[in-house]
Amino acid sequence: MARIFAYIVHRGGVPDDSAAEIAAAARRMEPAAEPTAIVAGWGAELDAACTALAGHYPEVWKLASETLAEPNAELVRKALVRVLPPASVVLVSHDHFGVDLAPGLSIKLNAAYVADILAVDARGEASLTVVRQEFGGQVSAHVECDISTGAVLTIRPGAFKPPGDAPTRGKIIDKSSEIGSLAAGRRYIGTVVAEAGNVDITKHAVLVSVGRGIQDKDNLQIAEELAEALGAAVSCSRPVVDAKWLEKSRQVGSSGKTVKPKVYLACGISGAFQHLAGIKGSPFLVAINKNAKAPIFQVADVGIVDDILEFLPELTKKARELHGIAAR
Ligand SMILES: Cc1cc2nc3c(=O)[nH]c(=O)nc-3n(C[C@H](O)[C@H](O)[C@H](O)COP(=O)(O)OP(=O)(O)OC[C@H]3O[C@@H](n4cnc5c(N)ncnc54)[C@H](O)[C@@H]3O)c2cc1C
């Protein structure tokens, strides 16, 4: 099979959590794969990211350029086109940066493109069958992808669980001299960090997260009571914020907060990729949804098909009993 590369973003020298998940996806595609991570940036932060990635990948390619110090998918795309060998399979996280980078990269490489991959079905010498969702997750599509001229594939965050192997000691190869000078038509101006709000959902080990399935602002109380019994905080999906039931600082997802809890209870949340993109660190994911076909069940560790309006109060009762908390 073609050589597999993973483009990994980092923030301040810390690789994105998708790094280990993408390595797991590469091994699902080719169990004997020795995937190569590629990381771009500048200075000490880039060196730190390379060292961290060498713990997950047998080989790490370092692309150092002052112009790559700030996130700009156009520049990264140009750098990748210059270093990648023909017919490479390139894996990218299906997040903000990945969906900006991947389509243009596939065109420049004349490679197949499949977005938002959840699973790998089958592999052949020159083809790969992958699973993605369509129609908001109502349909699973099995897509056969010709990889004879390469492929660019975006991987849904949380879909491939890292096996928890002992860290490797990969070698770092400096490819910076091959990228030459880079220029882009667009310019990065800055990142605006959202305010923490009165409850900082990024700091909690357990999150009770509610989605549109909560149905009404008044029903939020049942999530708050469960959170209190579990020592958790309440977070939510975007429709809950759009309906003004909770403040924006509680929203998890690509246009909300990135959270890294140990346990995540997704209550009445369908599992759109924009929501899942905000859940990092492979938490133990419990999904409660009355639709057995909800896409969230494909990434959940435990799936409960039930009405949250009935199930959550029962769970609260049990949690209170376990912790010796008197009912209110
Ligand atoms: C550019 C962009 C950025 C976005 N950013 C974000 C983001 O940051 N975060 C985010 O969350 N979304 C974001 N979205 C929206 C995202 O695409 C989804 O629309 C959203 O995540 C869906 O939220 P949901 O799962 O709560 O609602 P729905 O998709 O409507 O799902 C509701 C679920 O609740 C279940 N349900 C209903 N009633 C009950 C019940 N009584 N008991 C149990 N289950 C029940 C249903 O079966 C369904 O699965 C973004 C979209 C775009 C285009």
Q: Which pair of tokens denotes residue 57?
A: 């990948």
Residue 328 falls inside a structural domain: no
Residue 191 lies in a domain: no
Q: Is the Cβ–Cβ distance between 76 and 62 less than 8 Å?
A: no
Percentage of the chain exceeding pLDDT 90: 74
Residues 6 or more apart whose Cβ sits within 8 Å of residue 169: 54, 55
Distance 3 CA to ligand 1 centre (A): 36
87 plus 121 within the same structural domain: yes
Q: Is the pLDDT of residue 328 over 70?
A: no
Q: Is the CB of 239 under 6 A from ligand 1?
A: yes
The mean of the pLDDT values for the chain is 92
- Report pLDDT digits (tens) over 77-126: 999 999 999 999 999 999 889 999 999 999 999 999 999 998 998 778 88
pLDDT attached to residue 281: 80
Cβ 213 under 6 angstroms from ligand 1: yes
- Whether the per-residue pLDDT at 181 is higher than 70: the answer is yes
Domain of 232 in residue numbering reads as 201-323
Instruction: Give the pLDDT band (50/70/90) at residue 327.
Output: low
CA of 265 to the centre of ligand 1 (A): 14
Domain identity same for 36 and 151: yes
* Gap from CA of 267 to ligand 1 centroid (Å): 10
pTM of the model: 0.77
Question: What is the reported pLDDT for 165?
Answer: 67
Q: From ligand 1's centre to the CA of 245, what distance in Å?
A: 14
Angle between helices 73-83 and 96-109 (to 10 degrees): 40
Same domain, 262 and 158: no
- Ligand 1 binding pocket includes 219 (Cβ within 6 Å): no
Tokens read off for 220: 């939020």
Our count of domains for the chain comes to: 2
Cβ–ligand 1 distance for 250 under 6 Å, the answer no
Nearest CA to 23 out of 50, 51, 58 is that of 58
